[in-house]
Amino acid sequence: MKVSRVHIKNFKSVVDLSLDLAPINVFIGENGSGKSNILEALAFAAAAANKLDNEFLVSRGIRVTDPRFMRSAFVEASEEAILIGVEDERGIALTAEINTPGDTPYPKWKAKSLEVFTPSGLLKLPSKDELAIVLANAGLVQRKSEAAALDKLVADFYKLAEMPGSPLIDEFKSDLLTTIALLFSSLHPQFQIISLSDFMIYSPEISALRTFEKEGQILPLGVRGEGLLKLLRVLASEDKEAWRALQDNLGLLDWLSGIDIDHDSSSPKQSIRLRDRFMSATQPAFDQRSANEGFLYLLFFFALIVSKTTPDFFAIENIDTSLNPKACSELMRRLTALALEHEKQILFTTHNPSLLDGLNLHDDKQRLFVVFRNRDGHTSARRIMPPKPIGNDLPMKLSEAFTRGLLGGIPQNF
């Protein structure tokens, strides 16, 4: 289920911001305007359903700092909790309230509330009788192991919930939310609950992409590119359609004639083998350590989108890294087509005007936002609508409109 609306309050430079999202969303703006803060707010809410420890926040792509600077530093907002809500097209919304205890030497973030709202009100946990029906049905469709795990989870929940005067412990909240989602969607299939739990901000780094030595804390793919080789092995051996789509889209690079995967996980040097159509057939294929950076980034982006095991909702920072301007516009077209085909919802940030020419703003599934700081310094955002022709002239390219300052998001102080 796609997220249609986001509401963020009191997170870093964001004091109060609402955005209506599409499956494909591109954010442009000056350095320091708050593009990354918007993405991090969503990752922060996703972490609230799991863990809010710093190492877990970092593994999601969040720049962790002193809690004073995670909350908005503006005078009117400095002591308030962070509020992050997402809503889908049916009006079902998930809201997280996150704060820290005031006087502690090592403050830790706590999720005070994590609630699901429907058009008819706050979502209620099903009764014990309803739970029994769900578990019985799960067993009837040969999901006995899942049913058993769910049965234990429900028993643990009621044991905690029925303790006199004892609220649910924080560590149990992620299981509680999962329980609600599983049970409610089983009881009412038309209400498949919106979930942020897998949202991550990917910012691939060339060191991780070139060496293949690390796996991320969150599987299958870390935010810097950790685990890419293992994911490629799975695609090549278990998902031929996705593997074919990845190879077809790597045709964006004129020199590449093929890619092979090293399936020997015991090898001290994990690698992929690349074939350059300009090289002699007698020459051995070269590996990722010799590949150009642009190829490695493209490999990461395409694998991320075509895989069934990666999140359905995520962000990619600076999508234009190390890529030729014309390749950027074609990349945007290809990523958009792949994301829609594989039902992924993505938030991109970029500073490259050429990338915008790969967007079709007449398609409501593709949206462009300019992010800026208002006169009070608060992060704001404005959706850019499709350009209109003037007289008999063709509409101006988005790249030209951006560089000429017609869209905003261009520095004005020099």
* 251 burial via Cβ count (<10 Å: 0-12, 13-18, 19+): exposed
Q: State residue 207's pLDDT score.
A: 87
Q: State residue 48's pLDDT score.
A: 79
Domain ranges of the chain: 205-310
Cα angle 195, 126, 144 (rounded to 5 degrees) comes to 80
Q: State residue 155's pLDDT score.
A: 61
pTM for this prediction: 0.84
Residues paired with residue 401 on neighbouring β-strands, in sequence order: none
Who's near 324: CB < 8 A, 6+ residues apart?
Answer: 294
Query: Is the C-alpha dihedral spanning 21, 25, 26, 27 positive or negative?
Result: positive
Q: State residue 168's pLDDT score.
A: 41
First vs last C-alpha separation in the chain: 44
Who's near 86: CB < 8 A, 6+ residues apart?
Answer: 3, 5, 6, 7, 42, 45, 93, 94, 194, 196
Q: State residue 151's pLDDT score.
A: 57
Which residues in 227-340 belong to E strands, given as ranges?
256-261, 272-276, 313-316
Question: How many C-beta neighbours within 10 Å does residue 212 have?
Answer: 22
What CA dihedral angle connects 54, 56, 62 and 65, to 10 degrees?
A: 0
How far apart CA 305 and CA 312 sit, in angstroms, is 9
Alpha carbon distances (Å) from 37 to 82, 159, 269, 371: 13, 39, 37, 10
Who's near 19: CB < 8 A, 6+ residues apart?
Answer: 5, 6, 38, 369, 381
How far apart CA 297 and CA 138 sit, in angstroms, is 41
Q: Which secondary-structure segment (H or E) carries 282?
A: none
Q: State residue 350's pLDDT score.
A: 96
Which pairing describes strands 110-118 and 121-122: parallel, antiparallel, or unpaired? antiparallel
Tokens of 156: 């643990």
Residue pointed to by tokens 């905690």: 160
Which pairing describes strands 272-276 and 313-316: parallel, antiparallel, or unpaired? unpaired
- pLDDT (tens, 9 = 90+) of the chain, 414 residues, equals 789 999 999 999 999 999 999 999 999 999 999 999 999 999 998 887 677 888 888 999 999 887 778 888 776 655 678 999 898 887 778 788 888 766 666 677 777 655 666 666 665 555 556 555 655 555 544 445 555 555 565 565 555 445 444 344 444 445 555 555 555 555 455 555 566 778 999 999 998 888 876 776 778 999 999 999 999 999 999 999 999 999 999 999 999 888 888 766 655 566 788 888 888 777 777 888 888 899 999 999 999 999 999 999 999 999 988 889 999 999 999 999 999 999 999 999 999 999 999 999 999 999 999 999 999 999 999 999 998 777 777 788 999 999 999 999 999 888
Task: Give, to the nearest 10 degrees, the angle between helix 173-187 and helix 144-161.
Answer: 120
Which pairing describes strands 313-316 and 201-202: parallel, antiparallel, or unpaired? parallel
Q: Do 322 and 290 touch, CB atoms closer than 8 A?
A: no
Residue pointed to by tokens 């003037």: 390
List phi, psi (to 5°) of 286.
-105, 165
Rg (CA), the chain: 23
Q: Do 250 and 299 touch, CB atoms closer than 8 A?
A: yes
